[in-house]
Homo-oligomer: A and B are copies of this chain.
Amino acid sequence: MEPTTTVREQILDHAITLIMLRGYNGFSYRDLSSLVGVKTSSIHYYFPSKDDLVLEAVNAYSNEVLGALHGINASLAADTKLSKYAKLFGRTLGDGNQICLCGMLAADIESLPDNIRQAVQAFFKANESWLAKVLAQGVQEGTLAVNGKPENAARALYAAFQGSVLASRLFHTKARLEDVEATVRIAK
Q: Which residues of A contact B (CB under 8 A)?
A: 21-23, 25-26, 97, 99, 103-104, 106-111, 117, 120-121, 124, 145, 147-148, 152-153, 155-164, 166-167, 169-171, 176, 179-180, 182-187
Contact = CB atoms under 8 A, between A and B. Distances in A.
Contacts of A145: 145, 147
Nearest to A21: B110
A110 B117 CA distance: 23
A181 to B, nearest CB: 8
Given A159-B160, A159-B163, A179-B155, A169 B106 contact: yes
Contacts of A170: 106, 109, 117, 120-121, 124
B153 A179 contact: yes
Contacts of A148: 182-183, 187
Contacts of A117: 170
B159 A176 contact: yes
Nearest to A170: B106
B167 A162 contact: yes
Contacts of A153: 179, 182-183
Given A124-B167, A156-B160, A176-B155, A111 B22 contact: yes
A172 to B, nearest CB: 9
